[in-house]
Amino acid sequence: MVASQRHGAATEFDRTMRWTEATHRADEHGNHNGVARSTPPFAYREYFDAMQFADRNFRLACIDAIHCVGHLPDVFDEPESDAFADRIALLEAVVLTDELLRQLTRFSPDGGDDVYLFADPEWGAENDELYISRFDDLVLLPNLESIWVHAVTNEGAFDLSLLLECRSLKTFRADSFYVKPSDANDQIIERLVAGGVDVRID
């Protein structure tokens, strides 16, 4: 490699690293959400875009699930503030990498999970403040084998068509209350069963 090529490669890497540090550094309030705030340069763009979540509460459920499999051990240490906004900000500051998300093989959020106790010790699932509204982010969990939707989810929030992209899925359970009505649901279920997925919607 000639000197000019080496310089070009180094410059690209340096710019990428500066972008990474800048977009993952806490702001003046000490908060950041662990994902990119601007468009990353060059080949790193696709990787960082993949870490963005469409639903904040789905992300919270992922934090709990990752904690349960032995990662993020200190994530639920008692914070100094009791304010809901401050506790949510701490959770949003947790960086969820592709490597961590790939550890998840089971997704089954429940109102009694630690993440909800941390976010609001008084929350008893009596309101939908922490309910999942959409499950588009399942695409970020490529190794999921089991999904159970039975709590902390808004009515009709789960689109069954999303399961067709879950290549590792073996089992799906859901309360029909949480499944989005669609004329295509029966066909989707047939395709899943034909592909070896055990599906039960009660």
Q: Residues 158-166: what's their mean pLDDT? A: 98
pLDDT band at residue 2 under the 50/70/90 scheme = very low
Neighbour count for residue 26 (Cβ, 10 Å): 10
First vs last C-alpha separation in the chain: 63
- In tens, the pLDDT along 47-83 reads 333 368 999 999 999 999 999 999 999 999 989 999 9
**Pick the residue with more confidence: 14 or 202?**
202
- In tens, the pLDDT along 181-197 reads 999 999 999 999 999 99
Instruction: Give me the amino acid identity at 15.
Output: R
Secondary structure (3-state) at 20: helix
The alpha-carbon radius of gyration of the chain (Å, integer) is 20
